[in-house]
Amino acid sequence: MNIEKGADKVVKTLRVQVTDQPGYLGRLTTAVGDERGNIGDIRLISSGLTHNLREITVYVDNDSHLERIVTAVAGVEGVVLEEVVDMVEKVHIGGKIAMKSRSPITSLGDVRKIYTPGVASICRKIQRQPELAARYTGIRNSVAIITNGTAILGLGDIGPVAGMPVMEGKAVLFDHLVGISGVPILMKSKNIEHIIETVWHIAPTFGAIKLEDIAAPDCFEIERRLSEMLDIPVMHDDQHGTAVVVLAALLNAARITGITLSEMTVGIIGLGAAGIGITKLLMAHGVKQVIGTDLNESAQEMLNSLGGTVTDLPGVMNDAELVIATTGCPGLIKPEMVCKGQIILALSNPDPEIRPEIAMAAGAAFAADGKSVNNALAFPGIFRGALDAGATAINKQMLLAAARAIAQHAGHGELVPGILDPKVHSAVADAVFIAAGDSGVAQT
């Protein structure tokens, strides 16, 4: 399984002055280790006559754990702790994205080419032939990342501005993994009509629309209506991106265990955007028996309308061979609920319903959380393939193709491949491109 080192820890950096003599650095690392701190990188920042300045990355459980380590380090002779740096905060200072020019300007002639008067001829070309915008502008390579902040990660309704770091993170992944310009759009409104109208008005700026962290059931209606109104792809990532990666993981789990996925009883705990999206895609793949539970009555009705069966938490845990949880409730699944041989995907971030190692110790055949089964494996390649195909929509055939491509690139014993493997995203894009053409939504 692909679990990143320190994935469940808080990352801190200790900036320390260490006496430049044998043994002092060792005493420092020993003090950290004695307090069960997991040491990562040790970097030499500068050398002085008597001391060296170093930065030591330490993975800690929580603030109190950090305090114990800081106290221990402060007590080491020959070591001066200058600063504790939160690397997560540091990487977010000033934001993670910026608009950059692709055209260098070194002379007034360059300005005349990229702006007035030269640009007028390009404007007239597009006026006469609107389809040329795909060639002469960045529209075809831009995706709007739309949120109203009502369902951010497992944090809930924290508002659009508080959700901006997530949107920026999505834009960074778009750029780094597939070269797409992702543009966050924050909306104050929780009114469905306001959101739909606003997106419709700004849609000409973009080649596709990515709906992000919008709470159910509003997200279903917003996506459905925008997909009908616009001639560009619209996808709610919490539904479909998550569903694609879950299906990819299950394809490999089925292969490794020798089971037939379509014959399994699948239990869904939490029938919000992710839970319903997963249900839809699994059924499209051929899964026949889906049972699920949610406290919300309208969510239960939606599962019934899809052909699933509503039960309760004990019913899911007792009857499902495969359990998928997307509730946002850490620790909801207790070890004693796990049945021997179950496959459990506890996908809520940042804290899962049950930690994979606990589920495995309780008898699960496979277990993973949202840090390894991550929709960042899916959405970059899906949008890359859709944009390259000039697709008017993202349909089930494209999503199924993406899931198969991800599954095929997992290493031996892994459910899914690593997020940063460029071959994965290229393969997903190619598969989606082909599926767009085969299903009749491509225009390229």
What's the pLDDT at 258?
Answer: 80
Which structural domain range is residue 57 located in? Answer: 10-92
Q: Which of 198, 222, 237 is the last residue of a domain?
A: 237
DSSP 178-202: H--EEEEEE-----HHHHHHHHHHH
Residues facing 83 on adjacent strands? 15
Q: 7 vs 357, which has greater pLDDT?
A: 357
Catalytic residue IDs? 115, 170
- pLDDT higher than 90, residue 412: no
Residue at 298 is within a domain: no
Q: In terms of domains, do 52 and 121 share one?
A: no
Indicate the pLDDT class of residue 247, thresholds 50, 70 and 90: very high
Report the share of the chain in percent with pLDDT over 70. Answer: 98
What's the pLDDT at 5?
Answer: 41
113-130 residue pLDDT tens: 999 999 999 999 999 999
Residue at 33 is within a domain: yes
Instruction: Identify residue 174 by its one-letter amino acid code.
Output: F
Q: How far apart, in whole angstroms, are the C-alpha atoms of residue 284 and residue 291?
A: 16
Q: In terms of domains, do 88 and 114 share one?
A: no
- pLDDT higher than 90, residue 318: yes
What's the pLDDT at 8?
Answer: 61
- pLDDT higher than 70, residue 418: yes
- pLDDT higher than 70, residue 4: no
CATH number (domain holding residue 229): 3.40.50.10380
Q: In terms of domains, do 132 and 216 share one?
A: yes
- pLDDT higher than 60, residue 140: yes
DSSP 92-106: HTT-S-----SS---
Mean pLDDT over the full length of the chain? 93
Average pLDDT over residues 220-231: 97
Q: In terms of domains, do 227 and 150 share one?
A: yes
DSSP 328-384: S-TT-S-GGGPPTT-EEEE--SSS-SS-HHHHHHTT-SEEEETTTS-GGGTHHHHHH
38-67 residue pLDDT tens: 999 999 999 988 999 999 999 999 889 999
pTM of the predicted model, to two decimals?
0.87
Q: Which of 237, 262, 296 is the last residue of a domain?
A: 237
- pLDDT higher than 50, residue 3: no
CA nearest to 384, candidates 181, 170, 96: 181
Average pLDDT over residues 420-432: 96
Q: How far apart, in whole angstroms, are the C-alpha atoms of residue 353 and residue 151?
A: 17
Report the share of the chain in percent with pLDDT over 90. Answer: 84
What's the pLDDT at 159?
Answer: 96
Q: Which of 237, 257, 273 is the last residue of a domain?
A: 237
Q: In terms of domains, do 29 and 134 share one?
A: no
Angle in degrees, CA 258, 260, 262, rounded to 5:
160
If one counts every other C-beta atom within 10 angstroms of the C-beta of residue 335, the result is 13
